[in-house]
């Protein structure tokens, strides 16, 4: 399912997840199907998918038991930055992990203006068949 990226980022652009690496060496390979090595890497790739509008990646990396119907990206919401607060487990040798993060965004307020706010979440991730999946917010 390619061609669903609505915003896009070039491989040489700074990665939207804020890692400091370029997109083509950070989240893009994971969007293209490479397994994320850690729960944090998967979380970062999901954030970047929201930024670039990769609905397919968000769908594929959401546990089928908890995944809501899409679409997941909303044109009125702009994601401004990601900060990882804490990671518990979620390493290459783990089967579960927790990643706490803060994602800043700007959205329409429904009254013709815009609001900036933060999404603070402690998310649980599990690994199935070698692939990390987002399960739920705790
Ligand atoms: Zn990244």
Low-confidence ranges of the chain (pLDDT < 70): 1-7
113 Cα to the center of ligand 1, angstroms:
30
* Contact (Cβ atoms closer than 8 angstroms) between residue 90 and residue 121: no
pLDDT number for residue 27: 97
111 Cα to the center of ligand 1, angstroms:
33
Tell me the per-residue pLDDT of 48-64, one tens digit each, with 9 for 90 and over: 999 999 999 999 999 99
52 Cα to the center of ligand 1, angstroms:
11
90 Cα to the center of ligand 1, angstroms:
17
- How many helices (H) and strands (E) would you count in the chain? 3, 4
Q: Which residues pair with 45 in a beta bridge?
A: none
18 Cα to the center of ligand 1, angstroms:
6
pLDDT number for residue 109: 87
What percent of the chain stands above pLDDT 70?
A: 95
Domain residue extents for the chain: 23-137
The CATH code of the domain at 23-137 is 3.10.450.50
Radius of gyration of the chain (CA): 14
89/55 Cα distance (integer angstroms): 27
């Amino acid at each position: 399912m390619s061609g669903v990226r609505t915003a896009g980022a070039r491989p040489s652009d700074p990665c939207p997840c804020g890692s400091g690496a370029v997109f083509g060496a950070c989240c893009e390979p994971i969007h293209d199907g490479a397994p994320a090595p850690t729960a944090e890497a998967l979380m970062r790739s999901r954030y970047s998918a929201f930024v670039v509008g990769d609905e397919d990646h968000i769908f594929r990396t959401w546990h089928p038991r908890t995944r809501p119907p899409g679409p997941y990206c909303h044109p009125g919401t702009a994601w401004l930055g990601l900060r990882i607060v804490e990671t518990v487990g979620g390493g290459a040798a783990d089967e579960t992990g927790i990643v706490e993060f803060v994602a800043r965004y700007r959205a329409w307020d429904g009254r013709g203006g815009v609001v900036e706010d933060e999404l603070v979440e402690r998310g649980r991730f599990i690994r199935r068949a070698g692939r990390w999946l987002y399960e739920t917010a705790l």
